[in-house]
Amino acid sequence: MTSQFLWVIFPYLCIAVFVVGHIFRYRHDQFGWTAKSSEFIEKKQLMIGSLLFHIGIFPVILGHVGGLGIPKEWTRAMGVSDHMYHMGAVWGGGFFGVVTLVGMIILTSRRFTNSNVRHLSSASDLIVNSFLLLIVILGVYSSLITNTMTPGFDYRSTISIWFRSLLIFQPQAEFMASVPIAFKLHILTGFLIFAMWPFTRLVHVWSVPLNYVGRSYILYRKDKRN
């Protein structure tokens, strides 16, 4: 029963809250759909931390999508051996994970230790920062430590199959039984942050100003009276 809740009910519940929560917030709180930038209070740490975080997080996301969504049979068919894939995932993913971690440490430290930034932060801001830091720590630990200390474990034969089974609505919780605890905690906290997403400043991720690309230039004319 516990296994079914953790690896079937809980993920679907988090996804449902993620979708419904975004719809609700967009319809009822569009003016609160903002990142609430604190750049005017402190800029140096924000710039360094944000740069490192974003440099690391995009390859990490792509790695997760590829590792979870692409079966090992496909990579083998493309000539990528399991060992080659494993080394790339561990060391490539580990490198970008560490970059992301350093960025998150800087951003989280800034939010908690800078009195002005902390005064501007809401409780949800502090919780989200802490959770994101925890998720990244667990991810880096799983990639660099757990993968090394558990040579017989292959997440593409366990976690990936379980994840794809969720996507086709035929969940197979049994594949998570032998997964190391670090990976399990990384997954559960990851789903939890998705459930929290609509109710925090994380919604600003979807506010990409695409309309600026095709927007007409703004013309400024000098006032001839001056």
Question: Is residue 192 over pLDDT 50?
Answer: yes
More confident residue, 176 or 218: 176
Measure the CA–CA gap between 156 and 81, rounded to whole angstroms.
Answer: 13
Average pLDDT over residues 72-76: 90
Confidence check: pLDDT of 222 > 80:
no
pLDDT exceeds cutoff 60 at 220: no
Is the pLDDT at 174 greater than 70? The verdict is yes
pLDDT at 151: 80
Kindly provide the residue ranges of all beta strands, DSSP E only, lying in 45-191, ordered along the sequence: none
- 75-99 average pLDDT score: 88
Structure tokens at 94: 């580990």
Q: How many CB atoms lie within 10 A of CB 101?
A: 20
User: Cα(7)–Cα(184) distance, rounded to whole angstroms?
Assistant: 9
Tokens of 208: 């990409």
**CA torsion through residues 36, 41, 43, 49, sign:** negative
Burial class (CB in 10 A: 0-12, 13-18, 19+), 131: middle
Any idea what DSSP says for residue 114?
-
Q: Which of 9-23, 66-80, 127-141, 170-184 has the lowest mean pLDDT?
A: 66-80
pTM: 0.84
Judged by DSSP in three states, 1 sits in: coil
**pLDDT (0 to 100) of residue 223:** 57
Q: Looking at the predicted structure, is the pLDDT value of residue 1 above 90?
A: no
Predicted confidence at residue 212, as pLDDT, reads 46
Q: At what angle do helices 10-28 and 181-196 cross, to 10 degrees?
A: 20
Average pLDDT, the chain: 87
pLDDT surpassing 80 at residue 18:
yes
Upper half-sphere CA count for residue 120 (Cβ side, 13 Å): 15
pLDDT over 60 (residue 226): no
What amino acid occupies position 211? N
C-alpha torsion 130→135→141→146, nearest 10? 140
Whether residue 181 is predicted with pLDDT greater than 90 in this model: the reply is: yes
Confidence of residue 43 (pLDDT cuts 50, 70, 90): confident
Query: Taking 90 as the threshold, does the pLDDT of residue 103 lie above it?
Result: yes
Distance CA 214, CA 123 (A): 38
Lowest pLDDT segment from 7-11, 92-96, 114-118, 219-223:
219-223
Provide CB contacts within 8 A for 6, sequence distance 6+: 173, 176, 184, 188
